[in-house]
A and B are shown apart, each in its own frame.
Chain A
Amino acid sequence: MQSTATYDHDPASTQLLSRTWESPPGVLNWFTHVNHRQIGYRFVVTSLVFFALAGVLALIMRLQLISPENTLLGPDLYNQLFTMHGTTMMFFFAVPAMEGLGIYLAPLMIGTRDMSFPRLNAFGYYVYLIAGIALYTSLFLGMAPAAGWFSYVPLANIAFSEGRGMDFWTTMITFIEISALAAAVELIVTILKQRAPGMTLSRMPLFVWAILVMSFMIVFAMPTVMAGSVLLALDRAFFTQFFVAAGGGDPLLWQHLFWFFGHPEVYIIMVPALGIISSIIATFTQRPIFGYTALVLSLVATGFVSFGLWVHHMFTTGLPHLGLSFFTAASAMIAIPTGVQVFCWIASLWGARIRFATPMLFILGFFAIFVIGGLTGVMVASIPFDSQVHDSYFVVAHLHYVLIGGAVFPFFAGLYYWYPKMTGRLMSERLGRWSFALIFIGTNLTFFPMHQLGFEGMPRRVYTYLADMGWQDLNFAITLAAFVLGTGFLLTLINAVISRSRGDLAGSNPWQAETLEWATTSPPQNYNFRHLPVVSSRTPLWDQPDADRLECVAGLRADRRELLVTTLLEARPQSVLIMPNPSIWPFLLSLAVGFGFLGFMFEPWLFVVGFALSFFMIVGWLWPKKPWLDGEQSYDQSHNQS
């Protein structure tokens, strides 16, 4: 052992440890940060910006629909807007928001100092950012995609969408999937290999389980839409015939490829939300959640079964009824693991003294709204019923009930819950309650009447409607309600901004929660935990509320970034991983890859240029700096390793 080595169990090494794990300040250095907290925070904040953008688009759409034959927006612009609304919400808000929470919280919850591949983490964020900026640039230039977030062919193919808009869609989707896949792989590896000693899989917090299931779903679902969008890009750029009936292709192939991804996608969004709910209920009842095993099995079952439902988006395409029937059964079946979770939660709440702070209010809101959405979901699993309401406002109502109820409400609950951990301050309870009330009422007033509109025959994706259809009263009311809803969301965004400076100081564990992220300061120090904790139960902080007295790990270096690798199932200490320092290469690589994908839209050979540039960036990223190890642990602080 070198005499220059300093270990983190040395009480005097705190400052050195902090410097070692520091994300260097400064505008240019911002692009080199790799700590999971910085990256996770950026994901969450950026996703909220996209949420706001998509929300504004929705409000503009509602203004167009406020009266029949309105001329605020022409069909071209309206079609771009609803395409952007859906694409933004699904790809640029919902998944990144959940991933961001996962990236920020999972390492803290499992008691480690960073994720397995910090530079990949940063790369994933820049890819996401560039994709979003590029897509919105297309909107501001008036050439956004206009074939819906699902881009059905042949409409989305070159014969019927000649402009650049669809090219933005295909390339940006492929691009952003890289971001999601990178985050997913990383979350899986981190959760499987870096848990605190003693944190067996059955002692892992339910939110971490949810993130793990979500990540596996991403790994198996997203490649399909990448493959599909590549094929569509080829059809558009090189006139391949994958989706062209005249050339032996099939428009329905696109639907299969898209929905094989698209259905798991909505569960990818919902599964982490289910984890958030478990976390908050446990904390706000101050007792362990009931049915841990059932909840884990339900999460896993939901993940698996969700891959068997996709054809329920295609019930009206003329596929044989016998084949479709299987998907009716599967789509109904998935209600069971969801139901198990709902009742485990109710059992957990039963008889508890509950703290009705804002996070809990949003959880209660989830119950009401998601159950309504789930019930209409079971209805549309019925093929004959779906044949009437498919592609009508009934489905718009259903999908918003399940997504807002099942994802947005828990996500906002999570925001209010973990904001103090991320920023050190509590959000305003008063604004939170107002926001909750307006969002709850606004959601119901906006979307419930849409069920009725669907029954009155109003199809989806229509930029206007005739005056004598009789739809104007409901549409008028819905538009007003949408602004109530928007105000509710705005209040939370305002709350988040002003509480940074005006919120009450939070302390490490303002909610008296039981999981490890609360065992450190708020916000956490650079090194997350002064000493990596060791656990022996599911509720470490309820067993030992004083974080400084937790059992912990000694022997990690303080003069370079190290963290502990543990075994897959039992989480026994196995080895130590030396982590990279802040680096500019992830950002540079994202620029090169972005250049390749964006360039492809204009000149296909630019993709090759991007490919070559990326190669150089990857080499730069991975190239080991000297001195190289010769069998002895003689790194100096500036060493980088792949």
Chain B
Amino acid sequence: MSTTELNDARFVVDATDLSRFHSGSDAPIWWGIVGLVLIEMSVVAAFVISYFYLLMSNPQWPPADYPVPELMLPTVSLVLLLISCVTMYMAGKTLNKGQVTAFVLYTVASVALACVVLVIRWQQFQNFEFSLDQHVYGSLVWTISGFHFLHVVSAAIGTAVVAILGMMGFFSSTQRIGVVVDTLYWNFVALAWIPFYLILYWVPRITHTAGG
């Protein structure tokens, strides 16, 4: 029975033909993931501010006998993560146009990039010359690196599931909100690396030369 058949003046809104699909900010889940990103950004802010607080409480940073961190591998990680944002963006674009195969390839590429980053990070962890329990500098480096590492893992797993579902034919140009929110989270994890990268790898170089 459609509303036109109803003779009831109370019904001033007809939702019958409203879309049951969502593609972005019209979806509550989109706002939910934005909420999650805000929460995580607050955690990132707490860590960054704590880093600077502790830096200012210490006469030397890095502390005596601690090496200045090398830049190459972390910068490679940063670049790979930024590229993965582009591949995720392309995944979304191709899905919008209904090109499911391309979409799957782009998501798999993103996951692969993340895995490379994880391998690089793992290498870095093996090569850390300081422990996490001798000085707060080491504690910070380990904790912040580990925190971000875990988030890259979770983003990679989530996107891998998205890729699998894509391969199974679940996503389409109308049914794509899952991809949109996964991309949101992915972008956050990748971009959160920027402040961490700066404080872990650039700030000590600056304070090291300044303090001597």
A residues whose Cβ falls under 8 Å from a Cβ of B: 1, 7, 9-10, 116-117, 120, 181, 184-186, 188-190, 192-194, 197, 219-220, 222-224, 226-228, 231, 234, 238-242, 244, 247-250, 253, 256-257, 260, 531, 534, 549-556, 562, 564-565, 573-578, 611, 615, 619, 622, 624, 628-631, 633, 642
Nearest chain A CB to B47's CB is how many angstroms away?
6
- Given A241-B136, A554-B16, A555-B16, the answer on whether A10 and B1 have CB atoms closer than 8 Å is yes
Bound-complex Cα distance A440 to B194 (A): 54
Which B residues are CB-close (under 8 A) to A555? Answer: 3, 13-18
Q: Is the CB of A552 within 8 A of B143?
A: no
Q: Is the CB of A256 within 8 A of B39?
A: no
Of B12, B16, B32, B53, which one neighbours A551 at CB under 8 angstroms?
Answer: B12
Of B12, B63, B157, which one neighbours A534 at CB under 8 angstroms?
Answer: B12
Which B residues are CB-close (under 8 A) to A576? Answer: 15, 18-20
Nearest chain A CB to B165's CB is how many angstroms away?
7
Interface segment, one of B23-31, B69-77, B88-96, B100-108: B23-31
Q: Is the CB of B175 within 8 A of A629?
A: yes
Looking at B15, B38, B43, B150, which has the most chain A CB atoms within 10 Å of its CB?
B15
Nearest chain A CB to B190's CB is how many angstroms away?
19
Which B residues are CB-close (under 8 A) to A242? Answer: 50, 54, 136, 139-140, 143
B86-143 CB contacts (< 8 Å) to partner A: 132-140, 142-143
Q: Is the CB of B46 within 8 A of A224?
A: yes
Asked if B198 lies at the interface with its beta carbon under 8 angstroms from chain A, I say no
Of A181, A189, A244, A556, which one neighbours B28 at CB under 8 angstroms?
Answer: A189
Which A residues are CB-close (under 8 A) to B31? Answer: 116, 188-189, 192-193
Ordered by A's residue number, 15 sampled pairs between the chains whose C-beta atoms are within 8 Å are A10-B1, A185-B39, A220-B38, A224-B42, A224-B46, A241-B139, A551-B10, A575-B18, A575-B26, A577-B28, A611-B150, A622-B161, A630-B172, A631-B172, A642-B177
Bound-complex Cα distance A239 to B133 (A): 5
Nearest chain A CB to B143's CB is how many angstroms away?
6
B38-74 CB contacts (< 8 Å) to partner A: 38-40, 42-43, 46-47, 50, 53-54, 57-58, 63
Q: Is the CB of A253 within 8 A of B53?
A: yes
Q: Is the CB of A240 within 8 A of B136?
A: yes
Q: Is the CB of A241 within 8 A of B133?
A: yes
Which B residues are CB-close (under 8 A) to A220? Answer: 38, 42
Nearest chain B CB to A202's CB is how many angstroms away?
20
Q: Is the CB of A554 within 8 A of B178?
A: no
Bound-complex Cα distance A196 to B32 (A): 19
Nearest chain B CB to A342's CB is how many angstroms away?
31
Q: Is the CB of A248 within 8 A of B63?
A: yes
Nearest chain B CB to A84's CB is how many angstroms away?
26
Nearest chain B CB to A568's CB is how many angstroms away?
8
Nearest chain A CB to B100's CB is how many angstroms away?
12
Given A7-B16, A534-B12, A611-B150, list of 17 further CB < 8 A pairs?
A: A116-B28, A190-B28, A222-B39, A224-B46, A241-B138, A248-B54, A248-B57, A248-B63, A253-B53, A534-B13, A554-B6, A555-B16, A555-B18, A575-B19, A575-B20, A576-B19, A629-B174
Bound-complex Cα distance A21 to B122 (A): 49
Looking at B3, B46, B161, which has the most chain A CB atoms within 10 Å of its CB?
B46
CB-based nearest B residue for A635: B20
Residues of A contacting B: mostly: mixed
The 4 A-B pairs with the shortest beta carbon distances in the complex, nearest first, are A555-B16, A185-B35, A555-B15, A240-B139
Q: Is the CB of A575 within 8 A of B22?
A: yes
Nearest chain A CB to B95's CB is how many angstroms away?
14
Which A residues are CB-close (under 8 A) to B174? Answer: 629, 631
Bound-complex Cα distance A194 to B22 (A): 14
Nearest chain B CB to A255's CB is how many angstroms away?
11
Which A residues are CB-close (under 8 A) to B12? Answer: 197, 534, 551-553
Bound-complex Cα distance A629 to B54 (A): 53
B144-180 CB contacts (< 8 Å) to partner A: 150, 157, 161, 165, 169-170, 172, 174-175, 177-178
Which A residues are CB-close (under 8 A) to B178? Answer: 642
- Given A188-B35, A189-B28, the answer on whether A624 and B165 have CB atoms closer than 8 Å is yes
Bound-complex Cα distance A404 to B13 (A): 44
Bound-complex Cα distance A578 to B15 (A): 13
Q: Is the CB of A253 within 8 A of B35?
A: no
Bound-complex Cα distance A188 to B13 (A): 24
Q: Is the CB of B136 within 8 A of A248?
A: yes
Q: Is the CB of B132 within 8 A of A240?
A: yes
Q: Is the CB of A227 within 8 A of B32?
A: no
Q: Is the CB of A573 within 8 A of B15?
A: yes
Looking at A190, A227, A248, which has the most chain B CB atoms within 10 Å of its CB?
A248
Q: Is the CB of B170 within 8 A of A624?
A: yes
Bound-complex Cα distance A555 to B1 (A): 10
Bound-complex Cα distance A234 to B146 (A): 12
Bound-complex Cα distance A465 to B148 (A): 49
- Given A116-B32, A241-B134, A615-B157, the answer on whether A573 and B18 have CB atoms closer than 8 Å is yes
Q: Is the CB of B32 within 8 A of A234?
A: no
Q: Is the CB of B15 within 8 A of A223?
A: no
Q: Is the CB of B42 within 8 A of A223?
A: yes
Q: Is the CB of A7 within 8 A of B57?
A: no
Q: Is the CB of B32 within 8 A of A117?
A: yes
- Given A9-B1, A116-B32, A575-B19, the answer on whether A248 and B143 have CB atoms closer than 8 Å is no
- Given A116-B28, A193-B31, A227-B46, the answer on whether A553 and B15 have CB atoms closer than 8 Å is yes
Q: Is the CB of A228 within 8 A of B46?
A: yes
Bound-complex Cα distance A534 to B10 (A): 9
CB-based nearest A residue for B17: A555
- Given A552-B10, A628-B175, the answer on whether A253 and B142 have CB atoms closer than 8 Å is no
Q: Is the CB of B16 within 8 A of A257?
A: no
Bound-complex Cα distance A259 to B47 (A): 15
Q: Is the CB of B42 within 8 A of A219?
A: yes
Nearest chain B CB to A307's CB is how many angstroms away?
11
Which A residues are CB-close (under 8 A) to B29? Answer: 116-117, 642
Of A117, A192, A628, which one neighbours B169 at CB under 8 angstroms?
Answer: A628
- Given A116-B32, A185-B35, A253-B54, the answer on whether A248 and B135 have CB atoms closer than 8 Å is yes
Bound-complex Cα distance A534 to B165 (A): 38
Q: Is the CB of A7 within 8 A of B50?
A: no
Q: Is the CB of A250 within 8 A of B26?
A: no
Asked if B36 lies at the interface with its beta carbon under 8 angstroms from chain A, I say yes
CB-based nearest A residue for B153: A611
Bound-complex Cα distance A140 to B212 (A): 54
Bound-complex Cα distance A231 to B143 (A): 8
Which A residues are CB-close (under 8 A) to B175? Answer: 628-629, 631
Q: Is the CB of A9 within 8 A of B28?
A: no
Which B residues are CB-close (under 8 A) to A247? Answer: 133-136, 139
Q: Is the CB of B18 within 8 A of A574?
A: yes
Which B residues are CB-close (under 8 A) to A222? Answer: 39
Which A residues are CB-close (under 8 A) to B165? Answer: 624
Bound-complex Cα distance A256 to B54 (A): 12
Bound-complex Cα distance A553 to B26 (A): 19
CB-based nearest A residue for B9: A551
